[in-house]
Amino acid sequence: MTTSTDHDEPAREQQGPPAGRPLALITGVGRTAGIGAGIARRLAASGWNIAFTYWAPYDDRMSWGREPGASEVIRQALVEQGASTIAIEADLADPDTAARIFDEVEQRMGGVTALVMCHCESVDSGLLDTTVESFDRHFAVNARATWLLIREFGRRFAAERGTGRIISLTSDHTVGNLPYGASKGALDRITLAAAHELAHLGVTANAINPGPVDTGWMTEEVREHCIRNSPLGRLGTPRDTAHLVDFLCSREGEWINGQLLTSNGGLA
């Protein structure tokens, strides 16, 4: 894991978080068009400080490629919302990474109140053509890293009872996408277990299935299919997911707990 070390960081970040702003740790914030970035911007506007992680080598393997300077663009947008923020490049396939992330975030920004997990490994393959290496990497990133991040959060959580939040993004797509869908199913179970096993901390835990959101990965055929099957006649956006996360992280969202929430506009 490596960490951004910008020498021209605003004074706000160097001085620590403004009084009264809780801290959210958001994983998988690698591209400006991504769901993670949308959630980070929404929470920053709602009064949260933001620590976020990204892993550029993953984007290098994807069709969309790396977005140069994305972490700095996102960081500056959060600062403009009044948030104190840090960006951490982190390989979540490494089982030691979760603890290192929390160590750095606590050292630089303080304790985490909300853990929002948007990271993923997602490479299309089916029952017959998935490799063992790909299967293992999907479970390492999507399932094991989720467990390890939640475990660190539970071990370290020290905020006011009732304020803690755990939210993960999931998917129910498995056909032709076996390792992704199967590992996301495991992520669901891990997340929902936290609602009960961390009850003594007053922490809520929910998983969100946002459905297909076009963040640059869709082909025109996929776009047309999703729009055609949506009652609202449009695709989901990062903003749609961000509004739900924002509510779940609020005081008003406390009663929603231990749920797998589908937020896809009614897609058939």
Catalytic positions, please?
A: 180
Q: Write down the residue that tokens 């999703």 correspond to.
A: 226
Burial label, 23 (beta-carbon count in 10 A; 0-12, 13-18, 19+): buried
Q: In Å, how far are 116, 153, 191 from 198, measured between CA atoms?
A: 16, 10, 11
Coil, strand or helix at 48: coil
Residue 93 backbone dihedrals phi, psi, to 5 degrees: -75, -15
Q: Print the SS3 string covering 102-148.
A: HHHHHHHCCCCCEEEECCCCCCCECCCCCCHHHHHHHHHHHHHHHHH
Instruction: Specify whether the CB–CB gap between 112 and 88 falls below 8 A.
Output: no
Report d(CA 216, CA 220) in Å as an integer: 11
Report d(CA 41, CA 185) in Å as an integer: 27
Coil, strand or helix at 91: coil
